[in-house]
Structures are given as structure tokens and as C-alpha cells.
């Protein structure tokens, strides 16, 4: 339904108002423009929000990193927060070396965002808030000038609201931060007093590195101005580091950021990892038993194989199987030539829909949207629309009305040609029904696709679609396999009616997802839309008069329009409310944030993170069969595991950035951190209680 111009106007006005609410007023000094921005314009009790200090320097001027190098001082922020708020440290982006004569400093030129995570108190009340910060920086060119600014950022307490402009930019900044490396690094001292830093970085293997540079956290360990010659040999990267005069480089471990300018089909880009290099070869691999956290090590061939296998498994997911069963049974009465035609149309429907979703996903990500696989189900209107589709299909299967004839297929009556477009529609619907599910092998494949140019990414999605379409298409071209299907009979009508109930169950599940996203009023609107559809189906069936049918359709469209109007975003509950709704599945869990995970790890705890979403069927199955088990809860308590849940039911750029950091495009993602091990273990997407308990007790 088309929204009225007046409603669109107010929607845009409100969006712009909300976007502006997460921006503080800019302060301009002689050389720098400073401003605070936030990922959220509204924050709930107990929620975390990322605030960035944006510094935009005059051309030719620079500010400094946490280790300024030979000269300079790091930027500092002193916070003045509302009661109960807490601020984390600055999360430093990748720096650049800034040579000036005989010295070299580490810093930033142009524009830089310095993220800081804020934690709201558990008793935060509704109302206007002001976040204040006194920022101090040293800005230099041929001269250095200390500058400062008092900055303010208005937020709204008691309302969880993502800023549509700054949330994507902040998510990109967080995703590009240096991340801890899972493989060990070693430092050996050479006879000439230099030291060699050697490390294996899986995501850089097989790629062309234009530069490689080490930025130490400590100021007095290396000669910052000295060249760092690097080489690649046997999958390892090594750098030669010069010591400070009279320094003892190579006698103790060294920590810092290893940065590379990587060439790829997308162009050049800076990537970095955090490392701690121990002396000699004493350090064993930090996470030798853990699978690669990303998909980069798969390679194109492995990613396409994993995608194909994941597509095969999607066919037996509970959302998909009923859709395909009806079409498969129709082969029992379909001539061979027509069956092959159906198979081709079904394959086309699957591939077109998969590639359309993939293209939309890639395009939105390129535009800065913090989304991943299943992104469409983060939109309440899409969830409501799917619930309405499955409800309508359920009515069709129960015989309330017919689409096409007999069991020719869902959607087969949409064209004059019997069967062809019905098979195409079945393929498209099956893909949409599969989108809440993540099958085994899919996570690594989609993680690989996220790091590649669009052409390669589309190739991985095409392999996923081929795997998904393969069983049905093979059945359509194999008469011997079709003969194994049960013989036609009266039982087929009863089976068709029976399959209506998984359809209706899916509609109920999607209504529950909608309640998680937008509250009870949205569900009321959805039920009203279902009432309108039911009324129209009844009126169509009992009357053959076109006038009566037209009147019934007009009434139904009116109710449906009012329902759609009620589903327009604006009443979404806070994330804390969403967490409360899902509380039985996550007893003892805390809301995820990177700062909370870091704090728990610093205390030496085992940390388990469950990234989930209400619309993710695989997530909900694991929560019902694994996380709700008493022995799992007992293990979490006995082992004093810090258990965190990241709820991605609605868009959250911070969770999207964390998924990307682990090479994933969607949920579920289960991450287990062990004390003393720098990199986490990524647990299987299909969990078992025994497997989870065993992984926890291994620590």
C-alpha cells in the first residue's frame, strides 16, 4: 500500500530529528573541528552505546595515537557523565607513521573517529540527558599546538533508538579496529642487536602486501624512525626492528599493532591485528584446536563447496520442508516432460531470488548499512508480510480456496500456463522461507563472501542457491527417483491439509518475532490483516457475483491498509524489553557488549557469547534443546562462566561489527573465550548440550 504524502513527509522529518539528536555541536579551534556523535540517539537502562570523538584536522596537520612515537602526545578525553554512567577507554583505530625530519611519530591525518563505549545505569529514568567531554589533543605540522574543547552530546533516556546516519559509520569504524590475532608471534634477537618479529596472519596469506609496519604500545622499545624491512616466507611474515639507542630490544616480550596495506580486487586497504610477541619459539599456538574465526582461510573453492553443502541442508529446515513437500508430491501425477519443466522453473526461482537477496545485501553493505544474512527479517513490515503469506498458504492447503488446480504447486495459478510460474514461485517462496535459517557450513562460506569483491561474493551465493535447488531439480529430471514417491490416492488430499499446520505454525512464530520487534500493537495490526484476508477468502468462496466480491475486496483492503499503517516503525520496544521477553531461554545471561566481555576476560573468567535473533530458527532450536537444559545451566554456574547474549532481532551496528570481526554474516554465532588464550573458539552452529558442556569443561 502506498503511504500518503503527508505521512511520508512526517516520517522524513522525524527521521531527521532523531538523526540530529545523536550529534553534539561542533567546536572549531584554529586547526581542528571536534564533535561528539553516537550510534544511538536514545538509550535504555542498562544499555550500552558507542560514542565517537570526531577530529577533523586542517590539511597538513595531525594528531597522535596512543603511543605518539618519537614526539607528541595522545589525545585524552575526560568525561562528565550523568549519574551512574560509565565510560570505557578509547578504542584506537589503525595509526599511520608521520615522519618529520629525523623523527617519526604515530598518528592521524584528515578525519578520525575515536570510539568509546558508554554504559547506562540499570535505574536510568526517562528524560533528556547530556553527555559532556573535555577533549585534549596535540595537533602538529611544523609546529605543535595543544588544543582542547568542551563538547556536549544530547541523548534521550528511556528510549532505545539507533541513529540512522551515524550508526553505520560507527559500525564501520569498529569493524576496522585492529583485532587480536589467534596465531602466536615471536621475537628473536639478532647478533647485530636488531630483533626479528615473526608472525603468521591467516587472512593475509596469498595476498599481496604493499607495506607491513609494527606500531608498538610502549614508547621506548624500538627506533621509530628506522626502516622496518619485511619479508614473506613459508606463510610467515617477518619484520626487522631496530632498537632504541642503548635499548634492550629482544630481551622481553613486545606488544602492539601490526598493520598492512593489502591489495585486493576491491583496491588497497589498511588492515591490522593486535599481537604480543614472546621471546624465541617458546610460545605454543594460542588456539591451535580452534577453527578459523573467519571465512578468509577457506579460499574460493572451499567457500563454494561449503555454500553448496549448506544449501543442500537448508532443504530439511522446518520452514522449508513443507513448502517443498507439496511440490514434490505433485510429481506423482505429472508427466516426465512437464516435471522437467517444473524443475527448470523451480531452479530459476531459487537462483533469481538468492541472487537478488545477495545483490541487495551487498549493495546495502556497500552503502554503509550494518546488516548481514537474514537482514530483511529485521524489518517489522517484512516479518508481518511473511506471516500473512504463510497464513494465506495455510488457508489454501486447508481448502478454503484453491490456487491453480489439484497439487500443481503453490502459486501455480498465477499465470495462464499451468505449472511453470507456479514452480518458479515455489522456488522463490522456499528461499524466503529459508532465510531465517543458517545451516551447517553456511557461516564460514558467507563470512568468506563478505570479504570478497561483489563478483566473487555473488559466486558464493550462487553455489548456495545451486545446493538448495539441487534435490528438487534432480528429482524432476530423474524418473527412477520419482517412481520411489508414494502412489497417488486420497491420502494426498489429507497430507496436503496436514501440511497447512506447519504453515500456520510458521505464521504464529513470525507473529511472535514481530512482537519482539515492535510490541503488541504491531501484532494486533497483523491479526487484523489476517482477519481481512480471511474475510475476503470467505466472501470470494460464497459468492459468484462480481459486485459482492468487489465490495468484500474493498472492505478487506481497507482493513489491510489500516493494519499496514499500524505496522509502520515507531513503536519498537527497547532492547531491554526484548531481552526480558526472551529471558527463559537465557537464564543467568547478561546483555552483550565488547567492554563487558573484555572486563570478564580480565577477571580470568570463561566467557560464552551467544549471538542470536528471534527470527533465527536455528538459534531458537539451539536455545530450546541446548541452552534450556538444566545440565547446561548447571555447568555455566559451576564453571563460573560469564554468559552474554547479543540480540540481533532488530538492527544493531555494534553486533554486526562483531559478527564481521569473526568472519560471519549472520546468526547464530557462539563464541567461547578461555582464560589465557588470546583468540576465542567458534562453536558449531548446530549445538548439542554434550558438545557445549565439553567445550566449557576443556577450559
227-245 pLDDT tens trace: 898 888 767 889 999 888 7
**What are the strands of the beta sheet with 590-591, ordered from one edge?**
590-591, 642-647, 607-612, 669-673, 681-683
The closest alpha carbon to 68, from 95, 43, 87, belongs to 95
Residue 148: pLDDT above 90?
yes
Residue 132: pLDDT above 50?
yes
CA distance 675 to 154: 39
In a domain, 268, yes or no: yes
Query: Do 665 and 622 have their domain in common?
Result: yes
Residue 697: pLDDT above 60?
yes
SS3 breakdown of the chain: % helix, strand, coil, rounded to 5? Answer: 45, 25, 35
Q: What is the CATH number of the domain that holds 609?
A: 3.40.30.10
Bridge partners (DSSP) of residue 32 are: 57
What pLDDT score was predicted for residue 273? 92
Helix (H) or strand (E) holding 220: none
In a domain, 230, yes or no: yes
- Compare 102 and 134 and report the one with higher pLDDT: 134
CA distance 417 to 421: 7
What pLDDT score was predicted for residue 698? 82
What pLDDT score was predicted for residue 406? 37
Q: Which of 151-160, 267-276, 444-453 comes out lowest in average pLDDT?
A: 444-453
Structural contact between residues 41 and 155, judged by C-beta atoms closer than 8 angstroms: yes
Q: What is the pLDDT of residues 450-463, one digit of tens each?
A: 656 778 878 888 88
Query: Which residue, 444, 464, 499, sits at the end of a domain?
Result: 499
Can you give the residue range of the structural domain that contains 682?
575-697
Q: Dihedral sign, CA of 680, 685, 691, 692?
A: positive
| DSSP track, 118-179 | EE--TTPPSEEEEEEEEEEEEEESSSEEEEEEEEEEEEEET--EE-TTHHHHHHHHHHTS-E
Coil vs helix vs strand at 92: coil
Q: What is the CATH number of the domain that holds 40?
A: 2.60.40.1250
Query: Do 318 and 434 have their domain in common?
Result: yes
Residue 626 has what DSSP assignment? I
Region of 625 (left: φ > 0; alpha: ψ -120 to 50; beta: rest) is alpha
Residue 485: pLDDT above 70?
no
Buried b / exposed e along 445-460 (16+ C-beta atoms within 10 A): bbbbbbbbebebbbbb
Q: What is the pLDDT of residues 374-432, one digit of tens each?
A: 656 667 777 787 788 778 878 877 877 664 433 334 333 333 334 577 778 878 877 77
For the residues 161-173, what does the mean pLDDT come to?
87
pLDDT band at 531 (very low <50, low <70, confident <90, very high): confident
> What share of the chain has pLDDT > 90, as a percent?
22
Q: What sections of 408-441 are H helices per DSSP?
A: 420-434
In a domain, 220, yes or no: yes
Helix (H) or strand (E) holding 273: strand 267-279
In a domain, 257, yes or no: yes
- Cα dist from 292 to 184, 301, 546, whole Å: 14, 16, 63
Rg of the chain in Å (alpha carbons): 28
For the residues 246-251, what does the mean pLDDT come to?
69
In a domain, 420, yes or no: yes
CA distance 57 to 31: 6
CA distance 36 to 56: 12
The closest alpha carbon to 374, from 665, 685, 684, 670, belongs to 665
Structural contact between residues 408 and 693, judged by C-beta atoms closer than 8 angstroms: no
* Residue the block writes with cell 647478533: 191
Query: Do 352 and 477 have their domain in common?
Result: yes
Q: Which residues, in sequence order, are CB contacts of 529 under 8 Å at separation 6+?
A: 384, 388, 559, 560, 563, 564
Residue 574: pLDDT above 60?
no
C-alpha grid cell for residue 564? 499496514
Query: Do 604 and 650 have their domain in common?
Result: yes
Q: Which of 317-321, 456-460, 500-504 comes out lowest in average pLDDT?
A: 317-321
Q: What is the pTM of this model?
A: 0.49
Q: Which residues, in sequence order, are CB contacts of 227 under 8 Å at separation 6+?
A: 242
Query: Do 26 and 84 have their domain in common?
Result: yes
The closest alpha carbon to 534, from 382, 636, 400, 333, belongs to 400
Query: Which residue, 482, 499, 516, sits at the end of a domain?
Result: 499
Count Cα atoms within 13 angstroms, Cβ side, for 443: 25
Residue 21: pLDDT above 50?
no
The closest alpha carbon to 82, from 119, 42, 34, 29, belongs to 119
Query: Do 136 and 190 have their domain in common?
Result: no
CA distance 310 to 193: 53
The closest alpha carbon to 53, from 159, 109, 137, 144, belongs to 137
Query: Do 495 and 633 have their domain in common?
Result: no
Query: Do 447 and 346 have their domain in common?
Result: yes
- The winner for highest mean pLDDT among 135-139, 294-298, 687-691 is 135-139
Residue 198 has what DSSP assignment? E
Q: What is the pLDDT of residues 32-62, one digit of tens each?
A: 999 999 999 999 888 889 999 999 999 999 9
> What share of the chain has pLDDT > 70, as a percent?
74
Structural contact between residues 346 and 423, judged by C-beta atoms closer than 8 angstroms: yes
CA 148 remoteness from chain centre = 36
The closest alpha carbon to 521, from 536, 530, 511, belongs to 511
CA distance 406 to 409: 8
What pLDDT score was predicted for residue 482? 67
CA distance 174 to 114: 10
Query: Do 466 and 591 have their domain in common?
Result: no
What pLDDT score was predicted for residue 282? 35
- Compare 139 and 563 and report the one with higher pLDDT: 139
Residue 556: pLDDT above 60?
no
In a domain, 457, yes or no: yes
Geometric angle at alpha carbon 401, from 399 and 406, rounded to 5°: 65
Q: How many domains does the chain have?
A: 4
Query: Do 320 and 432 have their domain in common?
Result: yes
Query: Do 333 and 380 have their domain in common?
Result: yes
Q: Chain-wide mean pLDDT for the chain?
A: 77
Structural contact between residues 419 and 408, judged by C-beta atoms closer than 8 angstroms: yes
Q: What is the CATH number of the domain that holds 254?
A: 2.60.40
Residue 373: pLDDT above 70?
no
What pLDDT score was predicted for residue 55? 97
Residue 336: pLDDT above 50?
yes
CA distance 423 to 440: 27
C-alpha grid cell for residue 397? 492447503
Dmax (CA) for the chain in angstroms is 99
Query: Do 272 and 324 have their domain in common?
Result: no
Coil vs helix vs strand at 185: strand
| DSSP track, 642-677 | EEEEEE-SS--HHHHHHHHHTT-SSS-EEEEE-TT-
- What values do phi and psi take at 70, rounded to 5? -70, -30
CA distance 69 to 98: 9
Residue 190 has what DSSP assignment? -
For the residues 344-367, what does the mean pLDDT come to?
80
CA distance 403 to 208: 56
CA distance 597 to 594: 5
| Residues counted in the chain | 699
Helix (H) or strand (E) holding 547: helix 546-567
Q: Which of 157-166, 361-370, 557-566 comes out lowest in average pLDDT?
A: 557-566
Q: How many CB atoms lie within 10 A of CB 39?
A: 28
Q: Which of 125-134, 252-261, 345-354, 661-670 comes out lowest in average pLDDT?
A: 661-670
- Cα dist from 518 to 9, 380, 384, 513, 524, whole Å: 22, 7, 11, 9, 11
Query: Which residue, 499, 516, 533, sits at the end of a domain?
Result: 499
CA distance 150 to 136: 9
What pLDDT score was predicted for residue 364? 66
In a domain, 5, yes or no: no
Q: What sections of 478-545 are H helices per DSSP?
A: 479-482, 491-498, 500-518, 520-542
C-alpha grid cell for residue 310? 549448506
Residue 366: pLDDT above 70?
no
In a domain, 138, yes or no: yes
What pLDDT score was predicted for residue 288? 32
Cis peptide bond upstream of 654, omega within 30 = no
Q: How many CB atoms lie within 10 A of CB 235?
A: 11
What pLDDT score was predicted for residue 36? 96
* Residue the block writes with cell 532481532: 649
Amino acid at each position: 500500500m502506498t503511504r500518503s504524502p503527508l505521512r511520508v513527509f512526517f516520517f522524513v522529518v522525524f527521521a531527521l530529528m532523531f538523526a540530529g539528536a545523536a550529534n553534539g555541536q561542533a567546536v572549531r579551534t584554529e586547526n581542528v573541528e571536534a564533535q561528539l556523535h553516537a550510534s544511538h540517539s536514545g538509550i535504555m537502562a542498562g544499555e550500552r552505546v558507542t560514542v565517537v570523538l570526531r577530529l577533523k584536522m586542517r590539511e597538513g596537520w595531525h594528531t597522535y595515537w596512543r603511543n605518539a612515537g618519537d614526539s607528541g602526545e595522545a589525545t585524552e578525553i575526560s568525561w562528565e557523565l550523568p549519574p551512574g554512567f560509565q565510560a570505557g577507554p578509547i578504542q584506537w583505530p589503525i595509526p599511520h607513521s608521520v615522519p618529520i625530519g629525523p623523527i617519526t611519530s604515530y598518528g592521524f591525518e584528515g578525519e578520525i573517529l575515536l570510539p568509546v563505549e558508554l554504559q547506562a545505569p540499570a535505574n536510568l529514568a526517562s528524560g533528556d540527558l547530556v553527555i559532556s567531554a573535555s577533549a585534549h589533543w596535540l595537533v602538529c605540522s611544523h609546529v605543535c599546538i595543544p588544543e582542547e574543547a568542551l563538547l556536549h552530546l544530547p541523548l534521550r533516556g528511556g528510549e532505545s533508538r539507533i541513529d540512522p546516519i551515524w550508526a553505520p559509520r560507527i559500525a564501520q569504524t569498529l569493524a576496522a579496529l585492529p583485532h587480536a590475532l589467534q596465531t602466536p608471534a615471536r621475537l628473536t634477537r639478532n647478533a647485530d642487536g636488531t630483533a626479528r618479529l615473526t608472525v603468521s596472519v591467516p587472512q593475509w596469506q596469498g595476498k599481496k602486501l604493499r607495506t607491513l609496519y609494527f606500531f608498538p604500545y610502549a614508547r621506548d622499545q624500538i627506533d621509530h624512525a628506522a626502516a622496518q624491512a619485511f619479508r614473506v616466507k613459508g606463510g610467515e611474515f617477518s619484520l626487522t626492528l631496530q632498537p632504541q639507542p642503548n635499548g634492550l630490544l629482544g630481551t622481553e616480550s613486545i606488544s602492539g599493532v601490526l598493520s598492512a596495506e593489502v591489495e585486493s580486487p576491491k583496491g588497497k586497504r589498511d588492515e591490522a591485528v593486535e599481537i604480543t610477541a614472546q621471546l624465541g619459539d617458546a610460545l605454543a599456538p594460542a588456539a591451535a584446536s580452534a577453527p578459523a574465526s573467519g571465512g578468509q582461510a577457506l579460499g574460493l573453492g572451499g567457500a563454494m563447496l561449503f555454500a553448496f553443502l549448506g544449501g543442500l541442508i537448508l532443504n530439511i529446515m522446518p520452514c522449508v520442508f513443507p513448502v517443498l513437500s507439496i511440490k514434490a508430491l505433485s510429481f506423482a501425477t505429472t508427466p516426465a516432460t512437464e516435471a522437467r519443466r517444473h524443475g527448470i522453473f523451480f531452479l530459476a526461482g531459487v537462483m533469481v531470488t538468492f541472487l537478488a537477496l545477495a545483490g541487495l545485501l551487498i549493495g546495502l553493505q556497500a552503502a554503509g548499512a550494518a546488516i548481514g544474512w537474514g537482514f530483511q527479517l529485521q524489518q517489522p513490515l517484512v516479518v508481518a508480510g511473511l506471516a500473512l503469506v504463510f497464513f494465506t498458504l495455510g488457508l489454501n492447503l486447508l481448502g478454503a480456496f484453491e490456487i491453480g488446480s489439484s497439487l500443481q504447486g503453490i502459486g501455480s495459478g498465477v499465470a495462464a500456463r499451468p505449472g511453470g510460474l507456479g514452480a518458479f514461485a515455489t522456488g522463490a517462496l522456499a528461499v524466503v522461507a529459508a532465510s531465517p535459517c543458517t545451516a551447517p557450513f553456511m557461516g564460514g562460506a558467507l563470512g568468506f563472501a563478505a570479504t570478497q569483491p561483489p563478483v566473487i561474493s555473488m559466486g558464493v551465493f550462487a553455489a548456495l542457491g545451486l545446493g538448495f535447488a539441487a534435490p528438487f531439480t534432480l528429482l524432476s529430471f530423474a524418473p527412477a527417483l520419482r517412481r520411489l514417491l508414494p502412489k497417488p490416492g486420497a491420502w494426498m488430499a489429507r497430507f496436503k491439509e496436514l501440511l497447512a499446520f506447519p504453515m500456520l505454525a510458521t505464521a504464529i512464530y513470525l507473529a511472535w518475532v514481530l512482537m519482539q520487534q515492535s510490541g503488541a500493537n504491531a501484532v494486533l495490526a497483523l491479526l487484523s490483516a489476517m482477519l481481512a484476508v480471511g474475510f475476503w477468502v470467505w466472501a470470494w468462496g460464497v459468492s459468484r457475483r462480481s459486485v459482492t466480491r468487489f465490495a468484500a475486496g474493498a472492505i478487506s483492503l481497507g482493513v489491510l491498509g489500516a493494519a499496514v499503517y499500524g505496522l509502520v516503525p515507531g513503536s519498537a520496544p527497547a532492547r531491554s524489553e526484548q531481552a526480558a521477553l526472551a529471558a527463559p531461554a537465557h537464564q543467568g545471561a547478561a546483555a552483550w557488549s565488547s567492554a563487558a566481555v573484555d572486563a570478564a576476560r580480565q577477571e580470568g573468567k570463561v566467557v560464552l557469547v551467544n549471538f542470536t535473533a528471534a527470527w533465527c530458527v536455528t538459534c531458537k532450536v539451539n536455545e530450546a534443546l541446548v541452552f534450556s537444559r538444566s545440565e547446561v545451566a548447571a555447568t555455566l554456574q559451576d564453571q563460573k562462566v560469564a554468559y552474554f547474549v547479543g540480540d540481533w532481532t532488530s538492527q544493531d551496528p555494534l553486533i554486526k561489527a562483531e559478527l564481521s570481526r569473526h568472519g560471519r554474516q549472520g546468526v547464530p554465532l557462539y563464541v567461547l573465550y578461555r582464560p589465557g588464550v588470546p583468540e576465542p573458539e567458534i562453536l558449531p552452529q548446530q549445538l548439542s548440550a554434550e558438545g557445549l558442556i565439553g567445550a566449557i569443561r576443556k577450559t
